[in-house]
Amino acid sequence: MQSGLNLTFIINAFNPQNIDCAKIIAQLGYTDQASVDAALRLSAQQRVVSDDDRHHYIVQKQITENSLSYIFSPFINAVLNYKTIYIAAKVALVEQVYPYYLQLDALELQRQQSIDEMHLGFDLLPADFHADEVEVYALCKALLDPKTQCIYMFAEQGLALEIQQQLQDWAQIEIRHITPQLIEHDYSDINFKQLFWKVKSDESAALCKKIAYANAQWLSQQIQVDLPKAEHLIDDLLYSEHIFEKLSVFGEFTETILKHHRLSTSSAVL
């Protein structure tokens, strides 16, 4: 059954005219399509996932101010002890918000160590990646990972159901389409550094309520509870400082990784 699993099939599931196949192949770390196709089939054959070593992918097709809540989704999932890889384009909003919590330049270093120790991995693509290219790359990346169990695709429109089912059958994974809950908010008065503190300003409290509401949809599917319970759980995480603690520890982790990288680079130059 895996014989149908190839890059052309995946690209054709989207808008091929918007996708630079060579760019996708290069970003995946391959030199030609035949190698990608072979790796996709091999990964499907090797997919034996134990309960304590499965990977969940969260893919955000586009990041806008009214979908900013989802850049915190991987931290919510990691706090709940799911090994989570987040894939999105490294757009201006990401570069503005994430540095409050972590070292952006460290995210591409020691990714496997980050997943193993922090339950977090980030794959931030160049900002020139078209929205469809983000989805194609992310889907390929997840399918190439033999430990993938589930992929959450945050996008206005999901895959055609027949194509989604074929991919799930071939690759032995779950693909879940999540329609983003677009939320209007004025971020001008938000202190992102203090957003997840236990004691919150009125502005932070209002934003956290929206973050909990937006993320409840996918989390309710993951832990199989109704939407109000999922929203309440996220709200608890935001107020009990679990998210804040995760961000703090992960921020220290990225600082250490980046420091070691710079020291090793300096030593190599000398």
User: How many Cβ atoms from other residues are within 10 Å of residue 162's Cβ?
Assistant: 9
In the predicted structure, residue 1 carries a pLDDT above the cut 70: no
pTM of the model as a whole: 0.94
- Per residue in 119-162, pLDDT (tens digit) is 999 999 999 999 999 999 999 999 999 999 999 999 999 999 99
Average pLDDT rounded to a whole number, residues 67-89: 96
Please name the residues in contact with 75: beta carbons below 8 A apart, sequence gap of 6 or more: 120, 243, 246, 247, 250
For the chain, give the percent of residues with pLDDT over 70.
95
Q: Which two tokens stand for residue 128?
A: 């020139």
Domains of the chain: 7-190 (3.40.50)
> What does the pLDDT look like over 255-264, one tens digit per residue?
999 998 888 7
Greatest CA separation for the chain: 58
Burial letters for 118-143: b for 16+ Cβ neighbours within 10 Å, e otherwise?
A: bbbbbbbbeeebbbbbbbbbbbbbbb
Q: Higher model confidence: residue 270 or residue 205? A: 205
Residue 89 confidence (pLDDT) above 60: yes
Question: Per residue in 17-73, pLDDT tens?
Answer: 999 999 999 999 999 999 999 999 999 988 865 556 899 999 999 999 999 999 999
Residue 191 binned pLDDT confidence (cut-offs 50, 70, 90):
very high
Sequence-ordered list of residues with C-beta below 8 angstroms from that of 248, at least 6 positions apart, any chain:
101
Residue 32 is encoded by which pair of tokens? 């030609």
Mean pLDDT of 97-122: 94
* Mean pLDDT, residues 222-232: 96
What is the pLDDT of the chain when averaged over all its residues?
93
Q: Give the whole-angstrom CA distance, residue 135 versus residue 251.
A: 27
pLDDT at position 83 over 90: yes
